Amino acid sequence: MLTVKAYAAPSATEPLVPTTIERRDVGADDVLIAIRYAGICHSDIHTVRGEWGDIAYPQVVGHEIVGVVTEVGTDVAKFAIGDRVGVGCMVNSCRECVNCLAGQENYCLNGNTGTYTAVDRDGTITQGGYSTHIVVTQDFVLRVPESIPYEAAAPLLCAGITTYSPLAHWNAGPGKRVAVVGMGGLGHMAVKIAHAMGAEVTVLSQSLAKQEDGLRLGADHYYATSDPETLKKLRNSFDLVINTVSAPLDLNRYLRILALDGVWVSVGAPPEPLPVQVFTLFNNRRSFAGSSIGGIRETQEMLDFCAEHGIASEVELIAASEINDAYERVLASDVRYRFVIDIETLA
């Protein structure tokens, strides 16, 4: 066992605090990673605050992890000491079900092993990336291309793949009108990726405060949903909508922005159910869908796509001691556009 420094939530209502946790010994297929940067995803906040259900405490979260390989198990062929690597939202899956065999471990029928709050194969609860080291089986470790700055690569491991996967699946590209609702961590990556894929990109944000950034990141149009005319004006306008909003929306107002055969994809994950009036779907033969991160193969494809197109996350680098303040700023939609923890400040 390796005792490592970490930042953990002691309960659903208390601030995160410095602590130590145990990482398992490096097994034959395992890679030991010295974590350099860890992104703060809104899912970390939903999780530690118990919004998605009860969890065991103390809990370390963080599933946007980049670092350097410092030790490899005897059967590890994919990675060597010194490699630049990443870990996202999963650290294992059953590897046998039809979805795993199709490379969609994110949809493992037996439940993939999440990077945090999941029961690991050894019965322990997985602990995430707000820590100095992590041990992960080689098949769930990604290669981070050299050309992507390290800290800007971390958010790709969740925000990047969560937006890339539906954009790729629903064929965002030339001639497609894509709307991104909410320009936070996921939203700003959706803008960059959809633009790089060649789509016409529109941002729907609560206000125009981030308009200049949105246009700089690749949006062609930018609207404030606080303006009651916006959704009316945009009726029947989009082939694909990626909804990244972390809070409930009145979908019956929003779904009308879909054009004929348009698809609404919710990736934002408020805990509340969202009532949908089916007549809104009848018009224009609209579809309402969801999407969860992406498989390992697709995550590597996304990292390589970002390297090829020179894109990565816009980050605000923080010390570990600033995590709790960063959470409050995320909750206030005041993040430009992903907080990333410099893990050296934990060591």
Q: CA-to-CA distance for 140 and 63, rounded, in angstroms?
A: 12
Verify binding: residue 218, ligand NAP, rule CB under 6 A. no
Q: CA-to-CA distance for 65 and 28, rounded, in angstroms?
A: 22
DSSP 182-201: --SHHHHHHHHHHHHHT-EE
Q: Are 186 and 244 in contact (CB under 8 A)?
A: yes
Closest to ligand NAP by CB, 4 or 242: 242
DSSP 239-293: EEEEE--SS---HHHHGGGEEEEEEEEE----SS-----HHHHHGGG-EEEE--S
Q: How far is the CB of 92 from ligand NAP (least distance, A)?
A: 17
Tokens of 88: 């996202």
18 φ/ψ angles, rounded to the nearest 5 degrees: -65, 145
With contacts defined by CB under 6 A, name the span among 17-25, 118-126, 182-190, 313-321 that binds ligand NAP: 182-190
Binding mask 240-259 for ligand NAP (x = CB under 6 A): ----xxxx------------
- Count the residues in the chain: 347
Instruction: Identify what 12 binds: ligand NAP, Zn ion, none; CB under 5 to 8 Å per kind.
Output: none
Closest to ligand NAP by CB, 61 or 245: 245
Verify binding: residue 186, ligand NAP, rule CB under 6 A. yes
With contacts defined by CB under 6 A, name the span among 17-25, 116-124, 238-246, 295-303 that binds ligand NAP: 238-246
Closest to ligand NAP by CB, 21 or 204: 204
Closest to ligand NAP by CB, 41 or 201: 41
Instruction: Identify what 244 binds: ligand NAP, Zn ion, none; CB under 5 to 8 Å per kind.
Output: ligand NAP
Verify binding: residue 302, ligand NAP, rule CB under 6 A. no
Q: Give me the residue label for tokens 């103390």.
A: 58
Q: CA-to-CA distance for 100 and 295, rounded, in angstroms?
A: 8
With contacts defined by CB under 5 A, name the span among 52-60, 80-88, 109-117, 139-147 that binds Zn ion: 109-117
Q: Are 26 and 32 in contact (CB under 8 A)?
A: yes
Residue nearest to ligand NAP (CB): 184
Verify binding: residue 287, ligand NAP, rule CB under 6 A. no
Q: How far is the CB of 20 from ligand NAP (least distance, A)?
A: 27
- The footprint of ligand NAP on this chain (CB under 6 A) covers a number of residues equal to 29
Contacts of 34 (CB under 8 A, 6+ apart): 67, 68, 70, 132, 133
Taking CB under 5 A as the criterion, the residue among 76, 100, 193, 199 binding Zn ion is 100
Q: CA-to-CA distance for 70 and 82, rounded, in angstroms?
A: 6
Which residue ranges make up the site for ligand NAP (CB under 6 A)? 41-43, 46, 158-159, 162, 182-187, 205-206, 210, 244-247, 267-269, 291-293, 330, 333, 335
